[in-house]
């Protein structure tokens, strides 16, 4: 705050004059301090003599929205700034103070020249002179407009909150975190749980929990500490039925003490439906697994029949034809029979071709290489056939780190590869295909990548893509996954990944099997 500077006279003031000037400085500082304090506290002070002379502090001007330069306080001008409905009480209070002295507090409204209203707590005090007469009044005006507005906002928020609580369609309650006792419950809670309100308010949170799930107090407190939202509890209704409730809780101040407000969302049906979906998925998975193994067994059986029975019959036929050939080649055969020998030789050649076709068919029905040589050899055979049939270069890379896979995992990976390559043949229009078998981040990964036209992401996620679904189901059976993504710069990459840990587990299970 700038101090008043002393007049520069050119002469040094006498000690008495200097003391007077210091005293004036101190007085001025005190006045400034008082004015500052009034501004901060929104309290203005005034003084009014019997003759009507009125003196206002700076804050009085601010409260009334006027300035000392533009406004002179007088009985009339001051009254003009009092709200018309409060003028009478204001005048009566002044009259009473002049008549009897003492202190009086009352409220009134000031209307500023710009039309805005201020809420004032006023105090008057009459000071008697030596003759016992009230010569003048002093008083204060405290502007409490902001305080009142804040109070009103709090009241409004509380009323809105109460309404939200009372009319909420979901059960809500407030409980004491110390005792778990209910402090308030809404109509929806009363309706859903079936306890009359009075009974509810005599219960604790533990009375709601189904007996198998009663949380200890420390559980509840821990849950509170974690600000657990969306935690689900199993509750028991008054009639004994169980329901699943998802809880959202929040600490609030309730009638001056900390409490927890809870919104409970009934998820019984949703959970049941979700469980049903899980169950039916599980059943479907089991069915697919059974189908796959039945299919594999059936193929193996047919392959065996084809190979053994047809093979044997054809071999028998071949031996007969050989015998016929030999007999027809013996010397002395009539010339007319020469044609027979040609036919026998031709038929023998046809039987050779049929035998080769039967072996191919049997091999395709049940990839024998998989049984005898393992996945690597079976994949190599598959890749060779793919190249021959499609006339598209197809490479196979198998990393050394790939462990020996148990038959189930090897089977599933082989069939996944077969379906992926069939898809390439049917849909991709590729010019190059790569098949890789590797170990990455603890997973055995089979990748089939083509540089074809690519796959629509909607088709990938569609439940109707049975070939893709089958690949996923096969991977799932050995704890793995199949992902189908776009390859770079174009094409499709199918990745089947089975965790190595899973591979070892499958291996162990198979080893202990008798």
| 142 versus 423: smaller Cβ distance to Mg ion | 423
Give 11 or 426: the residue with its C-beta nearer to ligand ATP: 426
Of 443-502, binders to Mg ion (CB under 5 A) are 467
DSSP class of residue 92? Answer: H
Do the beta carbons of residue 327 and residue 345 sit within 8 Å? no
> How many residues interact with ligand ATP (rule CB under 6 A)?
16
Of 411, 450, 451, 473, the one binding ligand ATP (CB under 6 A) is: 450
Cβ neighbours of residue 110 closer than 8 Å, sequence gap 6 or more: 63, 64, 81, 82, 83, 117, 118, 120, 141
CB of 464 to Mg ion, least distance (A): 12
Q: Alpha helix (H) ranges present in 306-406?
A: 311-329, 338-365, 368-372, 375-390
CB of 299 to Mg ion, least distance (A): 18
With CB cut-offs between 5 and 8 Å by kind, which of ligand ATP, Mg ion, none does residue 362 bind? none
Nearer to Mg ion, 64 or 474 (CB): 474
Residue 455 binding ligand ATP, by CB under 6 A: yes
- CB-nearer residue toward Mg ion: 57 or 465: 465
Short-list 81, 49, 87, 47, CA closest to 65: 81
CB 288 within 8 A of CB 298: no
Applying CB under 6 A, the span of 225-233, 300-308, 313-321, 445-453 interacting with ligand ATP comes to 445-453
Q: Is 291 in the site for ligand ATP (CB under 6 A)?
A: no
In this structure, what are the phi and psi dihedrals at residue 245, rounded to the nearest 5 degrees?
-120, 130
Q: Taking CB under 6 A as the rule, does residue 459 contact ligand ATP?
A: yes
The tokens describing 185, both together, are 């419950």
Selected range binding ligand ATP among 256-264, 328-336, 337-345, 462-470, rule: CB under 6 A: 462-470
Q: Which of 48, 57, 93, 423 binds ligand ATP (CB under 6 A)?
A: 423
492 binds, among ligand ATP, Mg ion, none (CB under 5 to 8 A by kind): ligand ATP
Q: Is-contact 433 392, C-beta < 8 A?
A: yes
Position among 185, 243, 344, 424 found at the interface with ligand ATP (CB under 6 A): 424
- Closest residue (Cβ) to ligand ATP? 467
What six digits make up the tokens of 81? 């700034």
- CB of 480 vs Mg ion, minimal distance in Å: 19
Nearer to ligand ATP, 454 or 499 (CB): 454
Region from 85-93, 148-156, 193-201, 460-468 binding ligand ATP, contact rule CB under 6 A: 460-468
Q: Which residue has the tokens 């002295």?
A: 101
Residues in 400-439 at the binding interface with Mg ion, rule: CB under 5 A? 423
Query: Could you say whether residue 449 binds ligand ATP (CB under 6 A)?
Result: no
Smaller CB distance to ligand ATP: residue 264 or 416? 416
Which residues neighbour 41 within 8 Å (Cβ) at sequence distance 6 or greater? 142
Nearer to Mg ion, 423 or 492 (CB): 423
| Residue 424: CB atoms within 10 Å | 25
CA distance 340 to 160: 108
- For 28-150, strand residue ranges (E) read 43-49, 54-56, 102-111, 117-128, 134-143
Among residues 423 and 434, whose Cβ is nearest to ligand ATP? Answer: 423
What percent of the residues of the chain are helix, what percent strand, and what percent coil, each to the nearest 5?
55, 25, 25
Alpha carbon distances (Å) from 127 to 31, 93, 109, 140, 298: 22, 14, 25, 14, 116
**Beta carbon of residue 454, minimum distance to ligand ATP (angstroms, whole number):** 6
First to last CA, the chain: 99
Nearer to ligand ATP (CB atom), residue 245 or residue 430: 430
Binding site partner of 58, from Mg ion, ligand ATP, none, Cβ cut-off 5-8 A by kind: none
Residue whose CB is nearest to Mg ion in the complex, by number:
467
Sheet holding 229-236, edge to edge: 182-185, 172-175, 257-266, 242-254, 229-236
The site string for ligand ATP over 464-503 (x = CB under 6 A, - otherwise) reads -xxxx-----------------------x-----------
Of 47 and 429, CB closest to ligand ATP: 429
Assess 303 for contact with ligand ATP (CB under 6 A).
no
Per the CB < 8 A criterion, the answer to whether 122 and 94 are in contact is no
| 81 DSSP assignment | T
Residues that bind Mg ion (CB under 5 A): 423, 467
Which residues of this protein are in contact with ligand ATP, per CB under 6 A? 423-424, 426-428, 450, 452-455, 459, 465-468, 492
């Amino acid at each position: 705050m700038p101090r008043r500077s002393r007049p520069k006279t050119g002469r040094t003031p006498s000690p008495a004059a200097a003391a007077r000037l210091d005293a004036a400085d101190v007085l001025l500082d005190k006045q400034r301090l008082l004015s500052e304090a009034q501004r901060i506290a929104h309290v203005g002070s005034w003084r009014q003599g019997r003759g009507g002379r009125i003196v206002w502090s700076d804050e009085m001007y601010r409260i009334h929205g006027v300035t000392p330069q533009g406004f002179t306080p007088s009985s009339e001008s001051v009254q003009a700034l009092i709200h018309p409905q409060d003028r009478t009480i204001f005048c009566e209070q002044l009259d009473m103070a002049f008549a009897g002295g003492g202190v009086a507090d009352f409220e009134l409204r000031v209307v500023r020249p710009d039309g805005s209203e201020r809420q004032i707590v006023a105090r008057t005090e009459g000071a008697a002179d030596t003759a016992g007469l009230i010569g003048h009044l002093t008083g204060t005006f405290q502007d409490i407009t902001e305080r009142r507005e804040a109070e009103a906002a709090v009241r409004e928020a509380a009323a809105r909150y109460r309404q939200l609580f009372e009319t909420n369609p979901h059960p809500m309650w407030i409980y004491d975190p110390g005792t778990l006792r209910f402090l308030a419950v809404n109509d929806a809670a009363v309706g859903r749980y079936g306890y009359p309100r009075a009974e509810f308010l005599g219960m604790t949170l533990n009375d709601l929990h189904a007996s198998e799930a009663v949380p200890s107090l420390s559980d509840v407190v821990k849950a509170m500490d974690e600000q657990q939202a969306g935690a689900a509890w199993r509750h028991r209704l008054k009639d004994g039925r169980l329901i699943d409730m998802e809880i959202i809780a929040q600490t609030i101040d309730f009638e001056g003490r900390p409490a927890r407000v809870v919104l409970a969302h009934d998820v019984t049906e949703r959970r049941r439906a979700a469980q049903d979906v899980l169950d039916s998925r599980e059943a479907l998975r089991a069915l697919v697994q059974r189908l796959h193994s039945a299919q594999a067994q059936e193929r193996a059986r047919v392959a065996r029949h084809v190979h053994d029975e047809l093979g044997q019959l054809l071999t028998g036929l071949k031996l007969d034809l050989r015998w016929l050939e030999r007999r027809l080649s013996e010397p002395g055969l009539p010339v007319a029979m020469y044609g027979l020998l040609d036919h026998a030789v031709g038929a023998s050649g046809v039987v050779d071709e049929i035998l080769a076709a039967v072996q191919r068919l049997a091999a395709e029905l049940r990839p024998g290489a998989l049984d005898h040589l393992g996945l690597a050899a079976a994949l190599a055979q598959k890749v060779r056939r793919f190249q021959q049939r499609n006339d598209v270069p197809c490479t196979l890379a198998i990393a050394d780190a790939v462990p020996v896979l148990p038959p189930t995992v090897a089977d599933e990976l082989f069939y996944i590869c077969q379906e992926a390559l069939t898809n390439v043949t049917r849909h991709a229009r590729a010019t190059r295909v790569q098949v890789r078998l590797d170990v990455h981040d603890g997973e055995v990964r089979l990748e089939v990548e083509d540089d074809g036209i690519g796959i629509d992401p909607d088709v990938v996620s569609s439940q109707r893509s049975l070939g893709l679904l089958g690949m996923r189901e096969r991977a799932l059976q050995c704890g793995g996954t199949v992902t189908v993504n776009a390859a770079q710069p174009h094409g499709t990459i199918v990745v089947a990944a089975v965790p190595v840990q899973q591979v070892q587990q499958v291996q162990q299970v198979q080893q202990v099997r008798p």
